[in-house]
């Protein structure tokens, strides 16, 4: 679907009662309905009090397989900070204490503006469980030799299934979420909201550009033949976001991850004021810098030493540990 979608189609609030998970519809994509009242929590994998997110592992009644539920408190929307939103006559306060000019309360706003962003992964694999679990993190300085010897064989053996990516590119899934669709097989891409964005709040704007060209796994594969693609993603992405969300290119952080969470080239677009996960130096590479590096040296990313982080439950950690490049943190019990 092209970017002819109405804004309401893209930004409309999701159902809080039923969550639709892909399960075999007429397009070959799965379609089942899951309800949170049927979720049986088993284990809290990660409770991030800083980002106000939590990931719970569990199961669904009468269904086999493990499920993950990710809950995240939504950011405040400026349009709700009025007497129809947080300061309406139906907003309730519960007093913790009052002392002179200071008061500490719990606020209970209208349910419509108090939703919790919810993501369900079902059925979840061991890789998903490891990805969302709280654990120790290490930095690897990956030389081209280490990439060829350790990282690349691991990627080819262990990466996540990419069928969900192909479903989007082939028009089989999530077409109501597509913001922009350039169908050129060489330089085209699809722009969609990232799962971490609720699609509602400008302050947390987060979109992904997924390129149509296959075979580009990550930053390592980029060279001078991809400059046209990279510049088109940057320029059309910025233009589309400004047209739809009125965020100028100068207020967008446009970058690639290394290592990426999935090995089909994609570019992140986030609002500059939003401290999205993965924006830090050990993981994020600004697209403008990537383009500049390739223009200076066409095979820059084939020859560069690149940092990336690995966690102790990641299978690639075992590869680097076995080969003596990292050591597991020992804890006293």
Shortest CA distance to 215 belongs to which of 267, 160, 158, 156?
156
- Residue 72 labeled ligand binder: no
| 325 known member of a binding site | no
Q: Does 264 carry a binding-site annotation?
A: yes
160: nearest Cα among 196, 130, 193: 130
Q: Is 196 annotated as a binding residue?
A: yes
3-class DSSP state of 244:
helix
> Cα–Cα distance between 177 and 180 in angstroms, integer?
9
Does 274 belong to an annotated binding site?
no
The two three-digit tokens of residue 227, written as one number: 């400059």
180 tagged catalytic: no
> CA–CA separation, 265 vs 217, rounded Å?
5
Confirm or deny that 301 is annotated as ligand binding. no
Question: Choosing from 180, 266, 285, 325, which is the catalytic residue?
Answer: 266
> How many whole angstroms separate alpha carbon 111 and alpha carbon 104?
21
Pairs from 20-26 (Cβ < 8 Å, separation ≥ 24) = 21/120, 21/122, 22/164, 22/167, 22/173
Would the annotation count 144 as a binding residue?
no
**Helix-helix angle 287-296:227-245, to 10 degrees:** 160
Q: Is 265 annotated as a binding residue?
A: yes
CA-to-CA distance for 105 and 207, rounded, in angstroms? 35
| 180 annotated as belonging to a binding site for a ligand | no
Burial of 3 (0-12, 13-18, 19+ CB in 10 A): middle
Phi first, then psi: give them for residue 214, nearest 5 degrees.
-95, 160
Q: Distance (Å, rounded) from C-alpha 286 to C-alpha 284?
A: 7
Check whether 261 is labelled as a binding-site residue: yes
Question: Are the C-beta atoms of residues 321 and 136 closer than 8 Å to each other?
Answer: no
| Burial (CB count within 10 angstroms: exposed 0-12, middle 13-18, buried 19+), residue 244 | middle
Annotated binding residues: 164, 174, 194, 196, 257-268
Which segments are annotated as binding site for substrate? 164, 174, 194, 196, 257-268
| Catalytic residue IDs | 266
């Amino acid at each position: 679907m092209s970017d002819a979608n109405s804004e309401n189609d893209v930004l409309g609030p999701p159902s809080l009662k039923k969550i639709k998970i892909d399960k075999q519809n007429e397009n070959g994509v799965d379609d089942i309905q899951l309800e949170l009242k049927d979720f049986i929590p088993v284990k809290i994998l990660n409770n991030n009090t800083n980002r106000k997110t939590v990931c719970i592992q569990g199961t669904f009644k009468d269904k086999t397989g493990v499920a993950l539920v990710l809950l995240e408190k939504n950011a405040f929307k400026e349009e709700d900070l009025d007497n129809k939103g947080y300061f309406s006559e139906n907003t309730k306060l519960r007093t913790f204490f009052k002392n002179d000019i200071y008061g500490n309360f719990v606020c209970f706003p209208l349910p419509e503006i108090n939703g919790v962003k919810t993501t369900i992964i079902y059925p979840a694999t061991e890789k998903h469980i490891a990805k969302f679990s709280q654990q120790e993190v290490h930095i690897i300085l990956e030389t081209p030799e280490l990439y060829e010897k350790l990282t690349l064989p691991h990627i080819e053996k262990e990466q996540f299934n990419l069928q969900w990516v192909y479903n989007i590119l082939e028009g089989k899934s999530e077409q109501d979420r597509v913001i922009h669709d350039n169908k050129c097989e060489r330089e085209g891409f699809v722009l969609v909201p990232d799962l971490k964005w609720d699609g509602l709040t400008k302050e947390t704007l987060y979109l992904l550009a997924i390129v149509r060209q296959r075979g580009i796994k990550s930053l390592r594969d980029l060279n001078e033949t991809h400059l046209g693609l990279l510049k088109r993603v940057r320029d059309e992405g910025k233009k589309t976001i400004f047209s739809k969300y009125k965020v100028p290119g100068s207020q967008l952080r446009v970058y690639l991850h290394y290592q990426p969470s999935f090995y089909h080239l994609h570019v992140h677009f986030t609002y500059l004021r939003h401290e999205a996960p993965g924006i830090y130096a050990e993981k994020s590479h600004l697209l403008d810098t990537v383009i500049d590096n390739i223009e200076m040296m066409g095979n820059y990313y084939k020859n560069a030493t690149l940092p990336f982080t690995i966690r102790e439950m990641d299978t690639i950690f075992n590869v680097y540990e076995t080969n003596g490049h990292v050591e597991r943190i020992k804890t006293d019990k």
